[in-house]
Amino acid sequence: MTYKVYELRDSESGSIESEGLESGEVWNVTKRYLIGQCYGGMTEVKEAISDYLPRYCDSDTGYWRRKSMAIKGLGKGCFEVTGEYTTLVPVLAAGTGGDGGNKNEPNSPEDQSQLTPGSVAWDTTGATEHVTSAISERVISSDSGDDFQNAINVNGTTVQGIDKVVPAMKYSETWIMPTALGLSYDFVNAVYSLTGTVNLSTFRAFAPGEALFMGARAQWSGDQPYTTVTFDFQARANDDSFYVKGLQMTTKKGWEYPWVVYMPYTSGSGILVQKPRALIIDTIYREKDWGSLKIVESSPGGGRYQGTSKAAETQKQVDAFFKR
C-alpha cells in the first residue's frame, strides 16, 4: 500500500529544559505529519507512519526516544499524527571532549572524555566524637593539690568522658556519564569496593587520610544513553599536633580513632584519681587509590563557566574551593 505523507511546517519545534538537571538539558521535540489513504484507522496509521516517527531515532543532538504519539482523524482516510520526542543532552565542560559542546554518541567505559561535571553540595554541621581528655582544665578545690590530668568526668576509677562536636564535612558530587560506563559491572563493582575507604592521595581540598568515601548512587531514566551518579564523602581534618596531657605530642589522621588508657594515682590531696598512661590511635579505614571512581582527575567545576567576565570569576571561585 502506498501512502501519502506530508511533514507540516511547524514540525521539529520544541523546548529545551535545564533547570534542576545536573549539567544537562532535556530536549523536547514535536514532529507532525499528515498521512492519507489510511482507511484502516489508528492501527493502520501507527504502522504506516513508523518510518517517519520511529520509536527510537538518532539526531544531531543525540539519541531520541518517542514518549508519545497522537493520532487525529480528519476524515476520508486522512490523519494528523504528532510524535513527541525527548532526550537528555549533557552539556560538556571545556577539556572534557571537544570545545565544550555536546557529543552525539556515548563513549566506551574506558573513554572518560564524556564525564560531565554536575552539582556540588556540602554541609559542615559537624559531628560528635567521644573524648575522655580535655584540652585544659580548671580545678576549683579547697585542696591546691587536686589535679585530674585533664581527664573528663572522673567517677572513682572510671573516666566517663563526654561527646564533643568536632569539625566535619559532608560533601557530594553529581556527574553525568555515559550509561556504558555508569551502569557497567566493572565500574559499579569498583565503586562498591571503594566504599568505606579513605583517600590515599590528595582528593579535592582534602589531604591524604581526611576524606572518607561513603558510596555512590546512580539514577537512570529508561532509554537514555546517560546516567547521573552522585558520590558522597565525609571529611575530617588531620591533626599534626595531637596531644594528651602527660604524653608525647603526635600526629593523627582525620579518620583515625584515638583513645586513652588511664591508671590510678594519688593526687597531692591524697585522693585517688586517673592519670593518662598511654594514647592509642587506631586505624579504622583502609587508605585506597580512588582512581577507579573516574572523577579524581577531573574537577566538578572545570570549564563549565564560559563567555563572560562574571562567569570567569565564578570559575576561579569554584576552582579555589577544591584547592588549598
Output the DSSP codes for 243-282.
--TTS--EEE-TT-EEEEEEEEEE-TTS-EEEEEEEEEEE
Report which residue type is found at 36: G
92 has pLDDT over 60:
no
Domains present along the chain, CATH in parentheses: 4-90 (3.30.70), 93-295 (no CATH)
- Which of the pair, 133 or 20, is modelled with greater confidence? 133
Closest CA to 218 of 177, 170, 259: 177
Residue 6: what pLDDT?
Answer: 92
Average pLDDT of 66-94?
84
- Which of the pair, 110 or 293, is modelled with greater confidence? 293
CA distance 186 to 180: 11
DSSP state of 292: G
What would the pLDDT profile of 19-75 be if each residue is shown by its tens digit?
A: 655 556 788 999 999 999 888 889 999 999 988 998 887 777 667 888 899 999 999
Average pLDDT of 151-155?
78
Residue 201: what pLDDT?
Answer: 94
Among the residues of 164-246, which ranges form H helices?
A: 179-182, 185-194
Residue 225: what pLDDT?
Answer: 73
User: 136: Cβ–Cβ under 8 A, 6 or more apart, which residues?
Assistant: 150
Residue 5: what pLDDT?
Answer: 92
Residue 99: what pLDDT?
Answer: 40
- Which of the pair, 93 or 322, is modelled with greater confidence? 322
Q: What is the mean pLDDT of the chain?
A: 80
Average pLDDT of 308-320?
62
User: Sheet holding 211-219: strands in order across?
Assistant: 116-123, 169-178, 226-235, 211-219, 198-199, 287-288
What would the pLDDT profile of 109-131 be if each residue is shown by its tens digit?
A: 444 445 666 677 878 886 787 88
pLDDT bucket at 275, cuts 50 / 70 / 90 = confident
What would the pLDDT profile of 174-218 be if each residue is shown by its tens digit?
A: 888 888 888 899 999 999 999 999 999 999 889 999 999 999 999
- Which of the pair, 223 or 80, is modelled with greater confidence? 80
Residue 307: what pLDDT?
Answer: 47
Residue 124: what pLDDT?
Answer: 80
pLDDT bucket at 83, cuts 50 / 70 / 90 = very high
- Which of the pair, 244 or 22, is modelled with greater confidence? 244
